[in-house]
Amino acid sequence: MLFTKVGTVILLVADMDRSVKFYKELLGLPVKTKTQSPDWVEFFNRETTLSLHAIKRGKVDDSAGSKDTKLGTGTLVGFMVSDIDSTVQFLKENNIRFFKEPRDEPFGKHAIIEDPDGHLISIAQLKRTGSAASESEEFDLLGLLGAE
């Protein structure tokens, strides 16, 4: 196998300050302080990180030149929470836009919100199954089940 794990999920953002405020202050994600710059911020201190990379709206630079891109399209980042009802209440109190209102699903309770650039964020409280392996397998399916 060539790939052994996901190292980081990188979200391209138009306004770094606004996005950092959203993920840090509203969602409560811990910032990796040693990896911050005006154009790059990483969250979490474990194996997989969520990274924000600032770009000018509609452009991404790469070695082949510039390409047009739309921010927030085709991306769904999933988080598990222990109390989705209080999480949803907090998000609504802070005027976070819901792409999918909370509802019961076969795997538990689920909602989808949007970040400032339109990236979709899946929030799930999984049913207790008694097995950590089966919980992670169910969570892998959220991208397919969540946006229906």
Indicate whether 79 and 46 sit together in one domain.
no
Q: Is the pLDDT of residue 87 over 80?
A: yes
Domain count for the chain, please give it.
Answer: 2
Cβ pair 77, 124 in contact under 8 A: no
Q: What is the pLDDT of residues 43-59, one digit of tens each?
A: 987 778 899 999 865 44
CATH (domain of 106)? 3.30.720.110
The token duo for 22 is 């959203």
As a whole number of Å, the CA-based R_g of the chain is 16
What are the beta bridge partners of residue 122? 78, 112
CATH of the domain at 44: 3.10.180.10
Q: Is residue 116 part of a domain?
A: yes
Average pLDDT rounded to a whole number, residues 22-46: 88
Taking residue 43's Cβ as centre, other Cβ atoms within 10 Å add up to 20
Q: DSSP for 53-73?
A: EE--TTEEEETTEEEE--TTS
Domain assignment present for residue 17? The answer is yes
pLDDT reported for residue 59: 43
Q: Is residue 64 part of a domain?
A: no
